[in-house]
A = this chain, B = another copy of it.
């Protein structure tokens, strides 16, 4: 796979500003140049120094949107395939690929698609991103276990690692927020750019696939690069301090990327995406005292230091004890989710905060849309979540209400289309 180019997060290209037609070259250049200094500051604790307005390469060894420094906003969609015609699915994937390559480059979904198709045709781009920057849009595709049933002849190619997740204790899953044949994760620093991308892909899928569920995330809850500050989740705690980072390729090879001899060959260089919609019972949480909150998490609230330590990146020491026992309680979230506790298991978290109106009982419907990438969910996410579901003190304050798993194939070479390694295997 050495002939595949490497994704370049945040690379600015000439094409990166071509969607913004209202700007002269001088003005646009000044904005892009200035953006490097303050990238992400407008919208979150992001100090990556990459250009928040720029282009992330669509093609490369791996799909973008996995170890790409987490953008600030997300729109995630799961589709049901509504046809049994395999050729129609492949045709959709080819169309999607062309559109995705254009939109991630900051272009309309099709050439002059918003207005140039002729006055008496429906526009092939819906237009709401016409004046917006590329905003580091990434589009990441995954295939769910249900795609490998008997409809499309894909059953022999189903990876052993791609199984519906088991029922975990206290799961309260809504089937209308779970599963799906195909998922697309859109991440960008402008939510309108992410929504535009998903909406246009959904539009051309008409007759082949329909939206099963979708989720908007307004704020990232994980860093995936050492250059990013750690954001906070809606419990007010820094989240993802010990996350895997793009700068640690050995750990990514160990825990995120599927190796050539792991399973089905078409997944080599890919990864598995686990999505969990986690409702946070924020009203209950907000009535818990600070000591309780910190004991539940296992870190202090302001600094994010492991209990018993002083700064955020101090090593998590599960053995350290005070007069009342271990500094990090035996039911603390960070203990149970830690590699130390789990025999070395690590995953790449890439989740987002959400707030979706109210729940009808006087509360906000808010929480964390958890996304994780791992090399094998059965070996990594499942044992981790089993441990958490059984023992995590946090369970008093959260409820898992949606769940899905998808196989994300490797990145694309020039000319390849999404799913080619699977459909032409």
- What residues of chain A have their CB less than 8 Å away from a CB belonging to chain B? 21-22, 30-31, 34-35, 37-45, 52-53, 73, 75, 77, 80, 82, 114-115, 117-123, 125-133, 135, 176-177, 189-192, 195, 198-199, 202-203, 206, 210-216, 218-219, 229, 231-237, 282-283, 286-291, 293, 300-302, 353, 355-358, 360, 362-364, 366
**A35 CB, nearest partner CB in chain B, Å:** 6
Contact A120 B40 (CB under 8 A): no
Interfacial chain B residues near A122, Cβ < 8 Å? 286-290
Residues from chain B with Cβ under 8 Å of A135 in the complex: 42-43
How many copies make up the complex?
2
Q: How far is the CB of A119 from chain B (nearest CB, A)?
A: 4
Cβ B189 vs Cβ A363 within 8 A: no
B355 touches A356 (CB 8 A): no
A116 to chain B, nearest CB (A): 9
In the complex, which residue of chain B has the Cβ closest to the Cβ of A357?
B214
Contact present for B121 and A364 (CB under 8 Å)? no
Q: Which 9 A-B residue pairs are closest in the complex by CB-CB distance?
A: A127-B236, A210-B362, A191-B218, A42-B42, A192-B219, A119-B291, A34-B38, A128-B232, A211-B358
Cα(A288)–Cα(B266), bound, Å: 39
Known: A34-B34, A117-B290, A218-B216. Is A364-B45 also a contact (CB below 8 A)?
Answer: no
Per the bound structure, the CA–CA distance linking A164 and B422 in Å amounts to 57
CB <8 Å contact, A283 and B203: yes
Interface SS, A side:
loop
Chain B residues positioned under 8 Å from A358 (CB to CB): 77, 211-214
Residues on the B chain within 8 Å of A177, using CB: 357
Known: A117-B290, A291-B119. A229 touches B45 (CB 8 A): no
A115/B45 in contact, CB under 8 A: no
Contact yes or no, A211 B362, CB < 8 A: yes
Q: Are A195 and B218 in contact (CB under 8 A)?
A: yes
CB-CB < 8 A to A39: which residues of B?
42
* CB pair A236 B126 closer than 8 Å: yes
Please determine whether B31 and A34 come into contact, CB atoms closer than 8 angstroms. Answer: no
| Contact present for B128 and A203 (CB under 8 Å) | no
Most buried by B among A129, A233, A236, A360: A236
Please, how many angstroms separate the alpha-carbon atoms of A209 and B67 in the complex?
Answer: 43
Distance A247 CA – B123 CA, assembled complex (angstroms): 36
Residues on B with beta carbons closer than 8 Å to the beta carbon of A218:
73, 191-192, 195, 216, 218
In the bound complex, residues from chain B placing their C-beta under 8 Å from that of A202 are 364
Given contacts A43-B190, A236-B127, contact A120 B291 (CB under 8 A): yes
Decide: A119 and B191 in contact? CB cutoff 8 A: no
A132 to B43, CA, bound (A): 8
